[in-house]
Amino acid sequence: MKYGMAAARRSPGCEIHGVVHRITKDELIKLDKIETWYVREKVEVFSYEGQISKDSQATLAYVYVFNPELVAKDPELFKEHPPKERYIDILKEGAKEYGVNKNYISKTLETVKYVPRKSNT
């Protein structure tokens, strides 16, 4: 996206690692109001504690994806652009804090090209 925001999208054969949070219905309604560029989509997720297991059971969760109606109205706005360094740092810190697979962090999040912070000098 023009502003360097993240969004999930379907890509056969690919996976996204992340953190699932249990929230209330009221919190979900608030989040929907905040995430104005996005719509919720149900997806299957597999939990793990840093170790990926073939025996994991799937559960349903929501993921936010770009709103297809907005994308159709202004495709240029939703083209891929690098995120700001601060934004990708928040994603990496959260992934590490919550035990996202280290291999995924190093091969995916650590390799994202980003817009560097502005120098204070």
The tens digit of pLDDT for each residue in 58-95 reads 899 999 999 999 999 999 888 888 999 999 999 999 99
Match 């709103």 to its residue by tokens: 67
Tokens of 112: 């994202």
pLDDT at residue 53 tops 80: no
Which tokens in the block code for residue 87?
Answer: 């934004």
Whole-structure pTM value: 0.80
